[in-house]
Amino acid sequence: CRGRGVGTRLMRAAESLAVEKGRTLLVLDTATEEGASGLYERLGFTLAGEIPDYALKPHGGLTGTLIYWKRIGPIS
């Protein structure tokens, strides 16, 4: 479903729910190889860093993981 806007709509819904629940910061991660970093960056997430060889690939081997964060809702 990449490139069809599904991920964007899902993330917007998750952000809205988080704001409704009073959250002000989202933190997530994605695989370095073939992950969703482009989507997260387009949605305003900031890259905090990479942990090398952290996650297992579906067909074996290791890949790094990228950690992202984003402030949401009113900041008190």
- Per-residue pLDDT, 2: 64
Output the pLDDT for position 28.
Answer: 95
Handedness of CA 76, 70, 18, 15 (dihedral sign): positive
- Provide the pLDDT for residue 76: 65
E-strand spans in the chain?
A: 25-31, 46-56, 62-71
| Stated pTM of the model | 0.86
Contact 64, 50 (CB under 8 A): yes
Phi-psi category of residue 56: left, alpha or beta, with phi > 0 → left and psi -120 to 50 → alpha: beta
**Residue 58: per-residue pLDDT:** 86
pLDDT value, residue 10: 93
Q: What is the pLDDT of residue 65?
A: 95
| Per-residue pLDDT reduced to its tens digit, 4-27 | 888 899 999 999 999 999 999 999
Structural domains in the chain, sorted by start? 6-71 (3.40.630.30)
Helices (H) and strands (E) in the chain, counts: 2, 3
